[in-house]
Every structure is written in structure tokens, then in C-alpha cells.
Structure 1
Amino acid sequence: MYISLNEILKNSIFKSVTILAGEAGLNRKVKRISVFDCPCNKDILNRNTLINGDLFITCLEQFQDNKDGIYDYINALIMTKSSGLLIVTDDCIDTITKDIIKICDESDFPLILIKEDVPYAVIMDTVNQYIAIENLNAINTLKLDKIMYGSVSNNEKMEILYSINPNIGQYLRTIYVDGGFDSAIEELKTHILYLNSRDDIFVRSNNYYIFILSADDIKYLKHHSDATALKVKEFINNPKVGYSRIYSRKDISKALEEGKRSLETAKTMNMSFQEYNPLSVMQLLVSVKDTQEAHDFYEAYVNAIRDNVSAENLKEILLTMEIYVANSGDYKATGKIMNQHENTIRYRVNKVKGALNMETDNIKFNETIAIAVKLRILMNEIFY
């Protein structure tokens, strides 16, 4: 995982930049940053000095007496798939000819002018902060994956957790968040905040953000985690949030799994917050919604009804069952919503009971239709 040049340019120190060429290549990933103020020659290429993902800074003064040298320079950067070239100050901007612009545009190679006289050191420190955070995220994501899915002992899990934060508290809770930060700057600030946190961990994986919050007091941890989940809304757009329950730190893998499942439930149900609830049928079904068994269950349910009603009435019957389940089996409430007499609803429900051969088993019937309705929602199936 590496940060894109486009994200880096959102930093305030680059507020005065002008994209001279290669705008289509701003999504290139930046792996390292260097100063490249020397003339380009074949030895540089032969020694593999330049590599894919390099971002370079230059003032172009090396070409004042040899303006044609810029062509070899730019072609070398393009050939080695560098991320881009930052030109600091416009004193030598006349070196960038229309031909150079054309070459860079054709190769989607970003050529960026920083008009203000920003020191090289400031640029490099800023970019290196982003790169360091990205590398740390990649490492910590792998560590959490090993805790969750690796064949490691409990002691090894603790060693991995302590390698991320040696001060993790006695109790912990995970919060998984889906959404995008308002800006790369806000995300960087959040990373720095948690790097300086004594008890907590913040990791960005490929698909979500993970907060591991800890404390030696359960009551404080609950308050801390609730406050964190609410604060998330201040810097992440339209977040979906999933909590785990509070665990002893030795059960970190359980906390990670619960946080992840809670987030999946929140996303599936389009809910802002979802705390893990072991008695939640919907949460249980989320984990199996993509299986063949889930699809077979729903299809068997629909086919049993289809075989006992007319094609014209199938959709109406299925809709009735949806509303009936949503209203906890209340005939009158269902009829009011559907603008039907409650006896009509009762007739339809009994029709489905018969189709499922469950006329004498109300518990099994209610269980079956509730699961079928929930599966349809989770699988986003349409009525037949």
C-alpha cells in the first residue's frame, strides 16, 4: 500500500502548485522521494539508481547551460516509471518546452510546478511522513491479519499486539469504520494522534479503518469507545461503524472478528452504528448471505409458495409476508399498511403456511418466514 501523488498534493504546502503536464498520472503511487539536481547520464540508468515509484525534486538549474539535456532527464524518469517531478520555483521554467509538455502528457508523467520557494527539506519531510504512515499501515494490517487468521498461539498473538503498541491496556474493544476521510491531511493527523496515544491503535486496511481502544478500567473503556465512535463522524464522511464487545486483551482475535462482523451488518443494513449482538439473527445471517445454502433456502421458500398460488398473486403474497414479518405477525397492522382487511392478511398467511406444510407448527413457520425475509433483504433479491 502506497499513497498516491494526488493525495500528497492535497497538503497545504502544495497549495500553489500548477500541473504543467501528465495530470492523468496523478494517481501514481509514491514509494520514496529524492532530490535530482544533477545531469542525467547512462550510468544512472545502468546502476538502477532510479526505480518505479520515485518522486523527484529539482530546480532545473543543471540545464541552464545544456537545455537539450532535459530530454534525456525526462525520458529517464518516464522509462523508470517514476511517480513525478516537482519543480521548485519558476526561475528556470523556460527549460520546460512545449515538446517536454507533450512528451509528459503522452506518457501521463506528472510535471508539477511549485511556484512558492518551498525548501526541499520541508517537501521531503512532508512526503516522507505520508510514506512512513503508509508503510506502517501495511505492516500493521499484516500483523492484525496474522492475529485473526494465522496459526499462532495466544502468547504469539500477544507478542504481535505488543509489537504494534506495547502499552495496550488490560481490556480492549475494536471499532471498524467504513467511509472516507474529509482529506488526506485529516487522515494523517489521525494517524499521528494515535501514534502518540499510549493505549490505542489505529490502522487503515484496504477496506476499512480499525480502531483498537484499550484501558485498564472497563467503565472508562466503554465511555472512551462511545466517544470515539461519535467523533468519527467529525472527520469521516457518512461513516458506517461496527463495535465489538469489550474483551480482555488476550481475546484480541475475538474483538477483531466481532468488530468486522458488526461493520458488515451495518453496511448491509445501511445503519450508521452497529454493536455486536450475539443474539442478532440478522448479524448471524450476514455471515452466510453469500453462501449457496442461503440462496437455496430462499429459492425453496419462494418455489413452495409459487406452486400454491397463481403467478399473478405471487408478488403480492411475498410482499404480504415481508410486511407481516416487519410488523411482528400483527395482522391488523399489516392490513393497514397494505390497505387490506386483516382477514385478507390472515388468509394469505394461512395460504403460505399450507404451501410450506407448516399449518400445525407456528414456531417453525414464523422462524422460516423471518429467515427468508431477512435473507432476501441481505441478498438484495427481487420479488419473483
Structure 2
Amino acid sequence: MTRRTVRIAMNGVTGRMGHRQHLVRSVLAIREQGGLPLGDGTVIWPEPVLVGRRAHALRALAERYGLTEWSTDLDAVLADDSVEIYFDAQLTSARADALKKAVAAGKHVYTEKPTAADLAGALELARLAETAGVRHGCVQDKLFLPGLRKLKRLVDGGFFGEILSVRGEFGYWVFEGDWQPAQRPSWNYRAEDGGGIVVDMFPHWEYVLHELFGRVTSVTAHVATHVPRRWDEDGKPYAATADDAAYGIFRLEGGAIAQINSSWAVRVHRDELVEFQVDGTHGSAVAGLRGCRVQHRSATPKPVWNPDLPSAESFRAGWQEVPDNEEFDNGFKVQWELFLRHVVAGEPYHWDLLAGARGVQLAELGLRSAAEGRTLDVPELTL
């Protein structure tokens, strides 16, 4: 067995997502399982080099997980020839410049989304990476969730017949921060810092719709800042300048219509924090993060509208749970493993920076649609 060490500069791992999902549940989890076997006697061993702005936080993180390498000097880390991959989970406003530096240094790059603050910047990154000949990837974690993998299985198996519509509900109540601490960072609610639910969530909806149902060809959006005043991490009030709710309608290639509501100002009355209902001529499904339920046309009841009498039917009882049929690993970890295989063994990988640019494009057009009050076409992107 040959160990192939891959040193990864991980920038932004002191943040919630970078710490929990990317460092602990992905990179360190791969190490805990003994590395990532390639099947030819080689095992990939990821070696994280923690990067950030706060030395004390990096030191504490390294000590907590028994890591030895960390730095507040990104330039020095990128100048180290032994570092092969640069990963970015920073604030959106800092991401593009750091990724450009990494590409210029010849590093393979893997990044959270959105990849840049605007479409021009996202396309520039993709072109720079292609020209440099480095491997590049963008996190599209929801594709690897158990619920959506089951949904993809149904699509690929022709369960739905002709897909007519997709309806998505995402969100939860994010506390304002006055009488209970907010469970999201305050920058998420300041547009000047790259915040806003459209910028955060429309890139997710782009790749979910694109990969499962077809390319988005037009968007109609309405956005709102339902909670205009919040309190930051120090308990100080501030004006929320970014949107905290978005209501989008997306036309898909092939004619299906998707409607997705996203909100940080909604209380949850559903089984999971995100759910998608897909309706087709032959059947329907409701998928969340983990579960997926179906109703075939042969088992579809025949409701009759009668508001004068209580309903005698339990509509939920007529749905069947889709079995796991396999063991589902953490979605972030699964994509990390695919990217590591792509870098080391050259295995196919299409969740790249161009795919990331499509997400930025949809967010940009969604905000513009809301501002102009009209439906906008979504042109197909190429390099």
C-alpha cells in the first residue's frame, strides 16, 4: 500500500461551514478512515494546512485536532511547492482574489460558493484556471444528500414520466440576536459584506435544478428584507441591508416550472429544513435532506373539494418511503473524495468553476429580476 500525501491549504476553516463540514466531517474524516483508497494500492492522505486571519483561532483549531501546520500568511502558504490544493471557505467578498492568487501559484483549487461577487468575476476565475491547466471544483454539496440522491435515482429510472413542476421550500427562523443569539453570522444580513439569501441560495438551486431536471432558462424573482433590524455578535444593533427572503420561479429546459421559496424569516412546519416536491404525469415525490417519499399514479387518490365537511382522507398516508438501498456518507465528504480522485488520478469531475459561475449568474439575474420586476432569460454559459 502506497500513501500519496496531498497537502491542502484550507482557508476559512474557523467559520462554521469550513470547520464542521469541510475540515472535520470531510478532510479529517477521510484521515480517520485510513485515507482514500484509489483501488490500485494507492491511498490518498489529505494533509490540511490551516489558513486564516486570526492566529489564536487557528492555533486552537490545530491543537484541538492534533494538526501541526497553520498560518496567517496566505502568500507564504501558496509559495510552498509542497501544497497542491487551495480550498476557500472565506467570506464571499474575499474569495475571488484568494482564488486568483492560488491559480497563479499553480495550485488546484476547490471552493465554496458563490465563487465570486459577480458573473464577470466568476467567469474570469474559470478561464484563468483553464488557462493555467489546474484542476478546479466548486462545492455543490446538496447533490450528494441522501434525499436528493434518491430523487435523482427516480428521475434516472423514469419514475415521473414527463416532469411538470418542482416546488421547493427552504428556510427557518434566524433569531434577530437581541433576546437569543442568531444562529448565522451577522455579515449574512449586510449586502455590503456580500450577504443576502439570493447570493447564498440561488447558486444551490441552480445546480440542483440543472443536475436533476434541466438547465434554468429564465427566472422571475421577488426578494424582501422581512427583518430590517438585527443584533451582531457583540450584541450591537445594525440595519439589515441584505435580503432575508426570496421567492423564485424558474423555467427549465424542456418546459417544467420550478418554484422555490427561500427564507430566514419563516418558522418550519415540514419534515425537514428543505423539501422539494416533484410532480410528473406518472408519479410524484417529496424529497428532503435525507428522506424521499413517492406516490405513483396508480396509487393516487381522487380528492373532491368540499369545504363543508372535514376531510376523511389522510393524504400523507398514501405516500411510500423510498428505501436507502445503500449507505449514504456525508455529502461534503463524498464530493471532497471525488475532487481528490480528480486531482490525483485524473478521474472525471464536472462540478467545476464554470458550474460555479452558473450559480453566480442565476443569483445576479434573480436580484436584477426583483429590482426590475420582470422575467429574465438565463443565457447558457461557455468559456
- Normalized against structure 2, the TM-score is what? 0.25
Higher helix share: 1
Higher strand share: 2
Compare relative contact order (CA 8 Å, sep 6+) and give the higher one, 1 or 2: 2
> Which structure's CA Rg is the greater one?
1
